[in-house]
């Protein structure tokens, strides 16, 4: 069996799910923030519904997908190293770029998870405009990471 391609396929599927959630969650935050200008009871009802969706998206899709992406990514690293024998590829610019991108994406994930709690508590300071402007951060990071890995470029 070709374990490397199996690991790669499972990693790609997990990343797709993670990215889908990371692109949608800020949209829900934007919709939530925009409810503040609406009158009651519509505002309260919509925000309650949006906050349920935010929580479910994070707990049911985004968090598990991130964990699986890390597990399958670690498996890929292990297989690429020849079962731990040769880690020289990890020092290549393309791999370092990929790992920095993963670190940044995980940091953005943490920021979004923290903001979900603040939004639920009514203490978030960010506007719908902020969430729309930052919505594409995960996709920009994905472009950099995917091109780094597929091109395996160096200096």
Was 38 annotated as part of a binding site?
no
CA distance 84 to 80: 8
Was 118 annotated as part of a binding site?
no
- CB within 8 Å of 132: residues ≥ 6 apart: 26, 27, 30
Helices assigned H by DSSP within the chain: 3-34, 42-56, 63-80, 93-121, 128-134, 137-151
C-alpha to C-alpha distances, 12 to 6, 21, 26, 82, 106, nearest whole angstrom: 10, 14, 22, 21, 16
Extract the annotated binding site.
11, 98
Extract the annotated binding site for heme.
11, 98
């Amino acid at each position: 069996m070709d374990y490397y391609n199996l690991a790669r396929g499972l990693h790609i599927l997990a990343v797709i799910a993670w990215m889908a959630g990371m692109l949608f969650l800020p949209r829900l935050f934007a919709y939530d923030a925009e409810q503040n200008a609406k009158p009651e009871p519509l505002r309260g009802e919509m925000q309650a519904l949006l906050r349920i969706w935010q929580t479910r998206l994070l707990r049911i899709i985004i968090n598990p997908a991130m964990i699986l992406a890390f597990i399958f990514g670690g498996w890929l690293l292990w297989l690429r190293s020849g079962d731990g024998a040769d880690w020289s590829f990890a020092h290549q610019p393309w791999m370092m770029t990929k790992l920095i991108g993963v670190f940044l994406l995980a940091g953005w994930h943490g920021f979004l998870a923290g903001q979900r709690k603040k939004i639920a508590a009514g203490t978030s300071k960010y506007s719908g405009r902020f969430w729309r402007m930052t919505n594409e951060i995960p996709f920009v990071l994905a472009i950099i990471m995917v091109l780094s890995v597929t091109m395996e470029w160096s200096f």
